[in-house]
Structure 1
Amino acid sequence: MMSVIKRIPWVSLTLALLTYCSLGWVISQERLPPIAWFAIIPIITLVIGALATPWTKINFYSNFIFKSNTRTFGISVLGAFALFLMISWFRLFLDSLLVASATILVRIDFQMAGFRYIDTFAVLFFIAMTGLAMGVFINRFIL
């Protein structure tokens, strides 16, 4: 048990917790209706799952997507639209990039420590939900 605790990358987990706490704070400042949280939580779960997925599965899906010219064209149009959104909503893009970078850092650290994919996903999900709740709590009740 002690060797598992020593292998956990505490610095990157703390960085991810602070990042998701900041995200929760930013989202709660928008004063979204409570029903919006039912969309935010699954989206964050999907992002964590996508970023924590092993590279072999990403390779499989990318080969499937780029197999035909129609799919490649569709992905190119979506990529151009995503670039337009990045430019027009730069602040949102930077917040998203920060969250994705912290999540990827935790994934890499967990992979280097020898943890399984499901362990990485579970810890990242716990950290993300805890950070979101802390950010909302700080914004609503402390400040």
Structure 2
Amino acid sequence: MSTQPDHYATLHVSPDATTREITRAYRTLLRTHHPDTRQKVDDGDTTSVADLQELHAIMQAYVVLSDPAKRAAYDRARSGIPVRVPGTPVKVRVHRSERAPSAASAEGDRVQPPLSFSPTRWEPSSRIPRTPRSHS
């Protein structure tokens, strides 16, 4: 069983709802549940934790379903297809450490030394020239 909430049920729309229908449902529910616009006469100007949690669930559902990329990822996760989040490729430099030759290299076999990784270093771009600031 999935632990993620059903955003379509939260907004009372079907999974094939259009963006316009999702927005309309969100605004209707927001007017109904928001403490500033709620029409409850017997409210006594208090808001319970359950009301705030329901309002938060409505807002969270809208954030996911109103963005096409987030909605597509949510729909894939609901259907059981694993979601792969694209990342930014990172250039990695591999440094080979110089170590004493092993017994295998003495016999004529070439043995590659183990790889060693160092912390990444940030180097400023050389394309943007730095200009000194003048204090007037």
Q: State the TM-score bracket (shorter-chain normalisation).
A: under 0.3
- The TM-score, its normalising length taken from structure 1, stands at 0.22
Answer with 1 or 2: which has the greater Rg.
2
The structure where helix makes up a greater share of residues is 1
